[in-house]
Structure 1
Amino acid sequence: MITLTKLKGDTITINAIYIERIESFPDTTITLTNQKKMFVKESEEEVKEMVREFYKQIGLYQLQREVGEKGNES
């Protein structure tokens, strides 16, 4: 889970696995897998780093790297 700050200052904790897309319009916009959009104060890079750290904590980051490396061997 990662904790982000909404534009009005409230915090929200979301499961990073459900993030489909992160964009900067100028506000950072997060689109979840259910197509719900959230606008947060953190930059796109900050959110991506939080997601990377979350994946490392739950053991998915190394798995993603290993699977990606095997997929690039052809």
Structure 2
Amino acid sequence: MIKLTRIDGEAFILNAELIRYVENRPDTFVTLTTGERFIVRETMDEVVDRTIGYQQQKQLLPTMSPHCGA
């Protein structure tokens, strides 16, 4: 999940797994695999950097084993 900002200033969390592509026209458009499209304040490079960071973090977080005592 990545945090982005709509063009009107409202922050939201986006499932980065659903990003199909990002365009710069000059506003930044994020199109999802569902066909839904968002215009965000972040630059195309910022969206890409956050998505890469999200993917890297996924690999660093330990998975919870059902056998761990809680």
Instruction: Flag structure 1 segments of 5+ consecutive residues without an equivalent.
Output: 60-74
Could you state the TM-score of these two structures normalised by the residue count of structure 1?
Answer: 0.78
Q: Which has the higher helix share?
A: 1
Does 2:11 correspond to 1:14?
A: no
Q: Structure 2 regions of 5+ residues with no counterpart?
A: 60-70
The number of aligned residues is: 59
Q: Scaled by the length of structure 2, what TM-score is found?
A: 0.82
- Specify the alignment match of 2:68 in structure 1: none
Could you say what secondary structure the match of 1:23 adopts? strand
Q: Within 2, Cα distance between the matches of 1:43 and 1:22? A: 10
Alignment RMSD, CA only?
0.5
SS, match of residue 39 in structure 1: strand
What is the rounded CA distance, in whole Å, between the counterparts of 1:7 and 1:22 in structure 2?
A: 15
Per-residue CA shift, 1:7-57, capped at 9, x if unaligned?
Answer: 000001011000000000110000000010000000000000000000001
- 1:23-62 alignment, distance < 5 Å: 23-59=23-59
Kindly name which structure, 1 or 2, has the bigger radius of gyration based on alpha carbons: 2
> Percent same amino acid among aligned pairs?
34
**4+ long deviations beyond 2 Å:** none
Give the SS at the match of 1:53. helix
